Amino acid sequence: MLVIVRNEDISTHLFEIPRLLELKMSPDVWFAGIDEPQDLLNSTHQELFLGGGFVMLDQPSLESLNLDKVKRLLKLLQDLNKTEKWKWLLHYRDSRRFKENARIRTEEEEKNNLLSWSQEIGLSAVLPYHECDAKSRDHPDYLGCLVHLQVQNIAARFPVFLTDMKIADKFAKSGILTATLNSFLKRFST
């Protein structure tokens, strides 16, 4: 099955494709962005959602992240990167919190060192400062942010939001997979 999207609609309407997450989960579905119908015939279309993905954790999941789970997450991303590109994306304020906590406890320092190492080798990245990082916000607008990141990283098939909240339906409608950290580690390692 081929899902065709006009390139001009990608940023504003991509997340409105019915059953987008289900389509992405099927290996028999391909996505193409076109400017005009001839783009398909001339092979000048943009391939969308090729493979791989990116992971974002909500604040409570980050706060409960111990050193062992950081290691397991980074190891899994390293393994996944052998076949497709995967990355852990952090908000600026979460990255800053890692650095601040590193001054307090040794385990936090080790987590921060692992995060720095993972940034150096391209397994993780800190997002540029944006409205999610504003001090006036209690927490980021994860759904809006992930929808925006999905468009920015249009080659990534799976945006994954790791959380313990029961919000899967709202995110799935926008093409975003939600899971707990443990279920993600278990599901994607097999």
pLDDT tens per residue across span 158-187: 999 999 888 768 899 999 999 999 999 998
Please give the model's pTM, rounded to 2 decimal places: 0.90
Residues 67 and 114 in one domain: yes
Looking at the structure, tell me whether residues 25 and 81 fall in a common domain: no
Domain count, the chain: 2
Say if residues 67 and 110 touch (Cβ distance below 8 Å): yes
Residues 99 and 18 in one domain: no
H-only helix segments in the chain: 10-13, 20-25, 38-41, 59-63, 67-80, 92-102, 106-120, 142-152, 168-172, 181-189
| Domain final residue, candidates 33, 49, 65 | 49
Residue 73 sits in a domain whose CATH number is 3.40.50.1010
Measured distance CA(176)–CA(158) in Å, rounded: 7
One domain, residues 74 and 128: yes
Q: What's residue 51's pLDDT?
A: 94
Tell me: the pLDDT tens digits for 80-132? 999 999 999 999 999 888 888 888 888 889 988 999 999 999 999 999 998 88
Q: What is the mean pLDDT of residues 126-152?
A: 89
Residues 43 and 56 in one domain: no
Instruction: State whether 98 and 141 are in the same domain.
Output: yes
Q: What is the pLDDT of residues 22-43, one digit of tens each?
A: 999 999 999 999 999 899 889 9
Q: CA 65, CA 21: separation in Å to the nearest integer? A: 26
Domain span at residue 121?
52-189
- Cross-strand bridge partners of residue 178: 161
pLDDT at 190 over 70: no
Q: Are residues 4 and 91 in the same domain?
A: no
Q: Is the pLDDT of residue 79 over 90?
A: yes
Contact criterion met (CB below 8 Å) for 18 and 172: no
